[in-house]
Structure 1
Amino acid sequence: MDWSGEGYVLSVRKHGETSAIIEVLTRDRGRHAGLVRGGVGRKMRPVLQPGNKIQLDWHARLSEHLGYFTVEALTSRAAELMDDRMALSGLNAVCAIARETLPEREAHPYVYDAFEVLLDNMDNPDIWPALFVQWEAGLLKAMGYGLDLSSCAATGSNDNLTHVSPRSGRAVSASAAEPYLDKLYALPSFMMGQPYVTPEDVHNGLALTGYFLETRVQWGVNRTLPDARAQMITRLTEEGHARAPTPR
């Protein structure tokens, strides 16, 4: 069984003396693994970096086999961002989350498309942190745990939605949220279509999507979120692109 396509490298691990097993994210085949002969050699090492886009040809005798890839470089995102430590931390985080949360060989084209948009904007620190949050929200939806931000869980109103309930994943209006602020997650304005992003919004968005990824997606497989995500948040905070709101 053979197939060809494009995909993004998510992870690489050495196999034997010279080969590597890689995981890639593809639009039509989802997260897919395969062996690359010579994958740890000098020629292939720059190609097989997380975040790089590659042309793939997968070959196996049976579909359930690991199979092997022949690959060709298309874009070298990792090299482009090498001097931008904050963007590189975001690149590592999104690859790690995709690797650890997406089911193997299950296509999620909208997740793939949003992944591509995020990577295309990694050179713009005013844009990509919010895109990262939106990508995680889309990932939750694809996994069957989408947030419902259409109306208030308490009143049914769709006006002035400011928080999200950690129990239901539904939005809550400002008036209904007031007595329970310490129990709710703040809803970033950009997730409601507003055109501006603040460091507080980024912080709140990452806290929101991180909570649901942790408790809905990862809890079922007894795993936490990857360390790369926490490292990204630390970097965003150090650079002033994420900031916890001032207590009221």
Structure 2
Amino acid sequence: MEWQDEGIVLGSRRHGETSVIAEVMTVDHGRHLGMVRGGRSRTMRPVLQPGNRVSLHWRARLSEHLGEFRVEPIEQRAALLMLSAPALHGVQAMASLLRLLPERDPHRHLCAAMEVIIAHLDDASAAGELFVRFELALLNELGFGLDLAQCAASGVRTDLAYVSPKSGRAVSNAAGTPYADRMLALPVFLRPDMNEAADRADLEAGFRLTGFFLNRHVYEPRGLKPDTARESFIQATLKALDAASTEHQIR
């Protein structure tokens, strides 16, 4: 059994004296593990850093075996990602979320989304908004997708302001205001009739929204705690936004 693919390195762990078990989010084969002989060498260690894009050749005697990777670098960006707290924590947070999916289950659009987010990790607002959308897509892949297209009560597609914590469906301002204290806020950048970039308050609402449903449907039923990388990314992103706002005011 063998195949060739491209992917993003999520992490690696030591295996024996000179090898590692590499974890990669591939385009066509999902999150996949494989042994890399000589992975701890001076040449391979920089290649197998989280966030790098690589070319892979996987081989095993049987499809259910761990198998071996032959890895070639395509884009080594880990060194740049390590210079920014949002970027460093963002890659780690996405890796932890992808580990909630079954291994070897293809999710091409999540792999593509991770590429886009990595390319925008130097822009706190864009990265935060894309990350929230990434979590929504992940919830959908896990079978817990939210319906944010129209109001659950009236069917209208405009003036959406809330999300029901029970159904995961959007609710309009008119229908939801009497129950606002029981609702989750729907960020402006997720409303289908709006086209605005996320500000700090919107990002906080977005993280709160996806975090609520991840806890309810994924972490709690599995007896898991959310990975600390997610909270670290959120705090680093909000801090970067605050710093950018202060600098703009000074100018």
TM-score using structure 1 length: 0.92
Letter of the structure 2 residue corresponding to residue 77 of structure 1: R
Deviation at 1:123, TM superposition (A): 2.3
Q: Is the Cα–Cα contact under 8 Å of residues 55 and 72 in structure 1 kept in the other structure?
A: yes
Q: Is the Cα–Cα contact under 8 Å of residues 52 and 78 in structure 2 kept in the other structure?
A: yes
Q: How does 1:54-65 map to 2 (within 5 A)?
A: 54-65=54-65
Letter of the structure 2 residue corresponding to residue 37 of structure 1: R
Letter of the structure 2 residue corresponding to residue 149 of structure 1: L
Deviation at 1:102, TM superposition (A): 1.6
CA distance in 1, matches of 2:110, 2:22: 19
Local SS of the residue matching 2:167? coil
CA distance in 1, matches of 2:24, 2:210: 23
Q: Compared with structure 1, are the counterparts of its residues 225 and 176 closer, same or farther at alpha carbon in structure 2 (3 Å cutoff)? A: same
Once the two structures are overlaid, the 10-residue window that deviates more, 78-87 or 52-61, is 78-87
Once the two structures are overlaid, the 10-residue window that deviates more, 227-236 or 62-71, is 227-236
CA distance in 2, matches of 1:58, 1:241: 44
CA distance in 1, matches of 2:242, 2:67: 42
Local SS of the residue matching 2:124? coil
Question: What is the aligned-residue RMSD (CA, Å)?
Answer: 1.6
Local SS of the residue matching 1:101? coil
Letter of the structure 1 residue corresponding to residue 127 of structure 2: W
Alignment deviations for residues 40-79 of structure 1 (CA, whole Å, 9 cap, x no partner) = 2221111111111111010100000000101011112221
Where does structure 1 lack aligned partners over 5 or more consecutive residues? Answer: 243-248
CA distance in 2, matches of 1:240, 1:103: 34
Q: Is the Cα–Cα contact under 8 Å of residues 124 and 240 in structure 2 kept in the other structure?
A: no
Deviation at 1:234, TM superposition (A): 1.9
Deviation at 1:30, TM superposition (A): 0.6
Q: How does 1:1-248 map to 2 (within 5 A)?
A: 1-98=1-98, 100-192=99-191, 193-240=194-241
Equivalent residue pairs, number: 241
- Structure 1 stretches (4+) deviating beyond 6 angstroms? none
Q: Compared with structure 1, are the counterparts of its residues 82 and 224 closer, same or farther at alpha carbon in structure 2 (3 Å cutoff)? A: same
Once the two structures are overlaid, the 10-residue window that deviates more, 166-175 or 57-66, is 166-175
Local SS of the residue matching 1:33? strand
Q: Compared with structure 1, are the counterparts of its residues 178 and 186 closer, same or farther at alpha carbon in structure 2 (3 Å cutoff)? A: same
Q: Is the Cα–Cα contact under 8 Å of residues 25 and 112 in structure 1 kept in the other structure?
A: yes
Where does structure 2 lack aligned partners over 5 or more consecutive residues? Answer: 244-251
Once the two structures are overlaid, the 10-residue window that deviates more, 104-113 or 83-92, is 83-92
Deviation at 1:19, TM superposition (A): 1.1
Q: Is the Cα–Cα contact under 8 Å of residues 202 and 241 in structure 1 kept in the other structure?
A: no
CA distance in 2, matches of 1:77, 1:162: 39
CA distance in 1, matches of 2:77, 2:195: 29
Alignment deviations for residues 73-119 of structure 1 (CA, whole Å, 9 cap, x no partner) = 11122212222222222122112211x21211111112122111111
Letter of the structure 2 residue corresponding to residue 76 of structure 1: Q
Q: Is the Cα–Cα contact under 8 Å of residues 86 and 121 in structure 2 kept in the other structure?
A: no
Q: Is the Cα–Cα contact under 8 Å of residues 148 and 170 in structure 2 kept in the other structure?
A: yes
TM-score using structure 2 length: 0.91
